[in-house]
Structures are given as C-alpha cells and as structure tokens.
Amino acid sequence: MATISLPANVSVMLLDIEGTTTPITFVKDILFSYIKEHIEDYLSTHWEEDECKQDVQLLKKQTEQDIREHRACPVHSPDQTVHTDEEKAIREVVDNVLWQMAADRKTTALKQLQGHMWRTAYTSGKIKGEVYQDVVPAIRRWRQQGLKVYIYSSGSVEAQKLLFGYSVEGDLLELFDGHFDTNMGLKVESKSYQRIAERIGCPPEDILFLTDVTREAKAAVEVGMNVVVVVRPGNAELAEEERSHYSLISSFSQLQATGSA
C-alpha cells in the first residue's frame, strides 16, 4: 500500500484501538482469557477487601434481577473440592462470571469486576498492553509536526489508560491529548463524532479518524471527518466495495503530514 498524505487542514488524529493500534486478538485472547484463568485466584486473594466485596455484591444484585426476569442461570452442581462456605460462595461467583462471559453479556456488574481484575494484572506486570510496532514512532512524528492525538474506543477510558499506561513499550499516556469512550455515544453513530469534535474544539473536517471498521468510518464521514481504514492481520476481511471506497493503510508509517518527506 502506498503513502497517504494528510489533508493540509488536519490538525487532530483520532485513533481506534482494537484492530487499529492493537491486535484484536489482544482483547479476545489475552484480556478475556486472563479473567477466565484467574477469576478463582483473584476472588480468593481479594475476597475480604472492600472493593471485591462491592463487586460481588453487584454481581449478586444482577443475579437476583436475572432470576426475576427468568434468564437462565448457571446450575450449581455439588463440587467435592468445595469445603467451606467461602469456597462455595466463591465457586458461585466464578460460575456466574464464566456464564455471563460465555453469553457475551455486558452487565455493569461484570464489567466492574473485570476492570478491577485487569487493573491488578496490568499494575503487577502480568499483562502488558499490545501496540503494533509502527504506532508509537508514527504518533511521535505526528506530535512533532504539531498534530494532536486522541483515542476513541468502546473500551472505557479507564481500560484505555491501563492498556497504554502499561504497554509493551512502557507508559505511552503522554502521547495522547485525551481519551473518549462510549460516553460520547456508539462508534457507529455519527452524532458521537460530532460530540467528539465539539469536545476537542475543532471542526470535524480538521480531524482524521483511523479505524478498522467501515461502519465507524461511515459514521465519521457523515459529519465531515476524514477517515482512513486500517488493515491489520486478524481484522475482519473488507468487501471489495469497501476496499475501493476508503483509503487504506496497513501501517501508520504510511500516513505522512503534508510537506514532510
């Protein structure tokens, strides 16, 4: 793929994370696997701590609501390895969390516990946020050229800051002027991009959005943003029509500010 020159008026880069700065597999394979593999240990270790108690309490409330609304819930089979009431209580929470994850539920209770587990994993060095090799050099170059750089991801701002704050390349948070999540709205809705432009304080036309998802690109274009679609290994395959409609890059190094070599 060839080099693409940024439109001269572009002063802000807006970056998606999954499939753009970071392999999609990082979230699916690393982050979610971490929860599944460590949930029991985590609960045992932190069971008596206030934060963990609150997380468990919220999960219980969610379960009560699920039962009221007749959602299927995990069935607890007698487990011979369980001896104490605490082990039994932990087992129930583990079963519930794994069941919610298998059903791809996005309840606040689940997300809160996951967020706390990931924070522990990142800060203790058990997980490092992945970024493609071309990302950091390109962002540094853009910044030197006076561009501002923001993140817009469905992952919470807190999760974004953990990923970049504890990344394979160290603490990268200083590279970003700000972070946006779905508090701005869904990524496939054009209003979200209008709100982000307002928040940044510039017209949408001055922003270039990088994403792997063409539905998001389309929404951004609708309010006048510039978009380039990022093709990375493991991303969803683009249709021929999408490939010809959008400017594509496979590396951030292909984006050149106007006038730069």
Residues that bind Mg ion (CB under 5 A): 16, 18-19, 212
Nearer to Mg ion, 18 or 55 (CB): 18
* Residue 9 near residue 206, CB atoms below 8 Å: yes
Cα separations in angstroms, 111 against 72, 84, 217, 235: 19, 27, 27, 24
Nearer to Mg ion, 99 or 152 (CB): 152
Rounded distance between C-alpha atoms, residue 200 and residue 214, angstroms: 23
**CB of residue 123 to Mg ion, shortest distance in Å:** 25
Residue nearest to Mg ion (CB): 19
**CB of residue 4 to Mg ion, shortest distance in Å:** 19
**CB of residue 19 to Mg ion, shortest distance in Å:** 4
Nearer to Mg ion, 63 or 211 (CB): 211
In 3-state terms, the chain is what percent helix, strand and coil (to 5)?
Answer: 50, 15, 35
Provide the 8-state DSSP code for 84: S
The separation between CA 71 and the C-alpha centre of its own chain, rounded to angstroms, equals: 28
Nearer to Mg ion, 16 or 55 (CB): 16
**CB of residue 77 to Mg ion, shortest distance in Å:** 39
* Residue 59 near residue 96, CB atoms below 8 Å: yes
Nearer to Mg ion, 63 or 167 (CB): 167
**CB of residue 161 to Mg ion, shortest distance in Å:** 18
Strands 4-5 and 12-15: unpaired
Rounded distance between C-alpha atoms, residue 183 and residue 103, angstroms: 24
Q: By C-alpha distance, which of 212, 147, 152, 217 is closest to 178? A: 152
Nearer to Mg ion, 127 or 151 (CB): 151
73 SS3 class: coil
**CB of residue 258 to Mg ion, shortest distance in Å:** 26
* Residue 131 near residue 168, CB atoms below 8 Å: yes
User: 149 forms bridges with which residues in the sheet?
Assistant: 13
**CB of residue 219 to Mg ion, shortest distance in Å:** 13
Nearer to Mg ion, 59 or 172 (CB): 172
Rounded distance between C-alpha atoms, residue 28 and residue 26, angstroms: 6
